Amino acid sequence: MSKPRFRPVFTPMGAAVLVIALVILARSLYFRNSYEMLVSCVILLLMLILGAAGRRRAKKLALLEPGWKPPLPMTACAGEESLITGLGAQVPLFFRMHFLVRGKFSPNFDNDCPVFAETSTARGEEAAKLSLDFPMSGVFHGSGYCRLRDIFGFFSFSCGVTLQRTINIRSAPCFGKKLQINAQSGAEDRKTKNSTNEERFYMREYTPGDRLRDINWKSSEKIDALITRISPDNQEKVSRIEIYFRNFGPEKPSLEALWLLDRAKARLAYFLRSLMDENSSFVFSIRAVANNAAQGGWEIEDSEDLEAFLEELAGFSFLPPRNEGSVSAGTGDIYVFSTACDTGLQSFLLACHPRPVSLFIIQPERTIINAELKKAEAKNKKQTRPDHEILYKRSFPAMGCVLLPRWLLKTKIRPLGAEAVRVERLFAETRL
């Protein structure tokens, strides 16, 4: 939290009305027009009363601490609302408490879209809903602050402390085909105790249901109580799935390229969730490159690990191609997620040989010659396909995000002809 920054108390409309009223007053004095003088004096008196009342109350609300609770996790195109609390302070007549959010939304670490959202409460209300949504995944850095405004739109006074937020925006969900997974299986030793020499780590008191053969009779005689042996090691059979997420692409990506990356994130998230729901014993070993960092690894064993990884995945940006080193040794399948912007994908697939590779690639739009689709387009009907996803550029201003000028231009991305043992292609495009 921080103190509110100085902002002008007059709104653009209030400043315009003030100038017009002063001009009318000066003109009425020059021409001695009593009617214009009365009108201008009434307007100026009203503004004076409103300004004095608002200024006085805003000073008393300088330490107001509003609450800003965005939905967590926050998902793109979800239509969820943030909860704003602490706005129930008493305000003068004809005034309302407003809460504004300003910031920058970054779908890529070097692409910042200005964001603006606002909500208000009626007199006596404590909380309000703020509509803050985003068209795709990324990171939002913003600040929220209160303004005391009159219902005529003349004045806007700063009040309360400023709240700072950094929120990861997850991709809107996508859906794909169900897969038959060939997981690499192996035995792992998972020790439940660290000590190997102290007997107390291997023993506990007998409880009904313990096997009689596990009772340590010698130790039980010494302390006059039944003691049960506990094995220090617990071996479990786990199924390990090796995944590579390749977020390599241009240094200054277009909106079309960013949409491909967003759909790759969504496809990976669906892949992980569906397999974990199908079999909770799966362990996912993920290799990816985070922003401005070396190649990292994530081990996902349960839902908590999955949620933590998806939160980091939301902020992944395009990175220039780099030497990733050799693929880990093994015999199981490798699952690769990439986009048509990944120029080094084919070389990586060759490096994976002889291990079988399942490739999930997001490609630009494709042209389909289909009489039914052409007929539907002629009638202005939307024809959707499960493997074809569209981002509408007009959704940016509709959600309070300013679309960058260069994103208005259409950029063609060539499809990538990568081959693997199994390939699933998802097609994505942008439209106005």
Q: What type of residue sits at position 3?
A: K
182 in a structural domain: no
What stretches of 208-331 show up as alpha helix (H) in DSSP?
217-223, 255-278, 303-313
Closest CA to 311 of 415, 120, 411, 170: 170
Residue 46 confidence (pLDDT)? 94
Q: Are 281 and 227 in the same domain?
A: no
Last residue of a domain, one of 231, 248, 282: 231
Any long-range contacts for 53-60 (C-beta under 8 Å, 24+ apart)? Answer: 53/92, 53/93, 53/95, 54/9, 54/92, 54/95, 54/148, 54/150, 54/155, 54/157, 55/9, 55/157, 57/91, 57/92, 57/95, 57/148, 57/157, 57/159, 58/148, 58/157, 58/158, 58/159
Q: How many domains does the chain divide into?
A: 3
Q: Are 409 and 260 in the same domain?
A: yes
Query: Could you read off the pLDDT tens digit of each residue along the chain, which spans 432 residues?
Result: 555 455 678 999 999 999 999 999 999 999 989 999 999 999 999 999 999 999 999 999 988 899 999 998 999 998 889 999 988 888 999 999 999 999 999 998 777 899 999 999 888 788 999 999 999 999 999 999 999 999 999 999 998 899 999 999 999 998 766 666 755 543 333 444 444 444 444 577 776 656 666 777 777 777 777 887 765 544 444 578 889 999 888 888 889 999 999 999 999 999 999 888 887 778 888 988 876 665 578 888 888 889 999 999 998 888 887 766 567 666 678 899 999 998 888 888 888 888 888 899 999 876 543 444 445 444 554 445 567 888 999 999 999 999 888 888 888 888 887 788 888 888 988 888
318 in a structural domain: yes
Structure tokens at 190: 């998972």
Residue 188 confidence (pLDDT)? 39
Q: Compute the residue count for the chain.
A: 432
Q: Across-strand partners of 170?
A: 75
Q: Are 104 and 203 in the same domain?
A: no
Q: Are 265 and 226 in the same domain?
A: no
CA distance 12 to 417: 55
Q: Are 401 and 364 in the same domain?
A: yes
Last residue of a domain, one of 231, 250, 278: 231
Residue 415 confidence (pLDDT)? 84
2 in a structural domain: no
306 in a structural domain: yes
| Domain around 91 | 12-170
Q: Are 246 and 269 in the same domain?
A: yes
CA distance 310 to 306: 6
CATH number for the domain spanning 33: value is: 2.60.40.10
Q: Are 52 and 102 in the same domain?
A: yes
Residue 216 confidence (pLDDT)? 79
Residue 401 confidence (pLDDT)? 92
Last residue of a domain, one of 180, 204, 231: 231
Q: Please provide residue 101's backbone torsions phi and psi, each rounded to the nearest 5 degrees.
A: -125, 125
Q: Are 248 and 119 in the same domain?
A: no
Q: Are 274 and 420 in the same domain?
A: yes
Closest CA to 144 of 122, 116, 121: 116
Q: Are 139 and 264 in the same domain?
A: no
Closest CA to 196 of 242, 240, 164, 231: 231
Q: Are 331 and 413 in the same domain?
A: yes
Q: Are 111 and 226 in the same domain?
A: no
Residue 224 confidence (pLDDT)? 75
257 in a structural domain: yes
